[in-house]
Amino acid sequence: MASDVLPSRLPDTGRTRHRRLRAQGSLERADLNAILDAGFVCHLGVVTDGRPLVVPTVYGRDERQLYVHGSVAGRSLAGGLPVCVTVTHVDGLVLARSVFEHGVNYRSAVIHGDARKVTQEWGAPVPAPALPPGTAVPDHIARRAGTRHG
């Protein structure tokens, strides 16, 4: 089905248009997927009671959806609310003699959408991020998963 194929380029809208350093930005879906696949920690932004709220959480994805970990009992993931998810990977610090010349080399993705509760009808769970052998997993996460990693 051709209608099920996602376009290779993301839409260029007022919300997604790069205004500064345009040459460093990309609307290519492959670039977005590479950033998402390189990590598993994101920041979820919502507006609750008229105030912005940003919380760190973890995520996973399939070809069509981004899944964030959280509780629907919390207001940040109540169904139908507009959300913004940001993923950032710091690749290096640029240190200079002058504070005005310091910088950070990073890759990031900003994704806008609406929160929806995932139900059993959605199918198989999203697999956990693939961790290289020997990756340290915090004890509280390993205990919840029922396993221990190095």
What pLDDT, on the 0 to 100 scale, is given for residue 90?
92
Contact 126, 67 (CB under 8 A): yes
Contact 86, 107 (CB under 8 A): no
Query: Half-sphere exposure (CA, 13 Å, Cβ side) for 125?
Result: 6
Q: Is the pTM of this model over 0.75?
A: no
pLDDT tens-digit map of 2-23: 457 777 777 777 777 776 766 7
Query: Half-sphere exposure (CA, 13 Å, Cβ side) for 67?
Result: 16
For the chain, the average pLDDT equals: 75
**Coil, strand or helix: which one is 110?**
strand
pLDDT tens-digit map of 122-134: 445 545 555 555 5
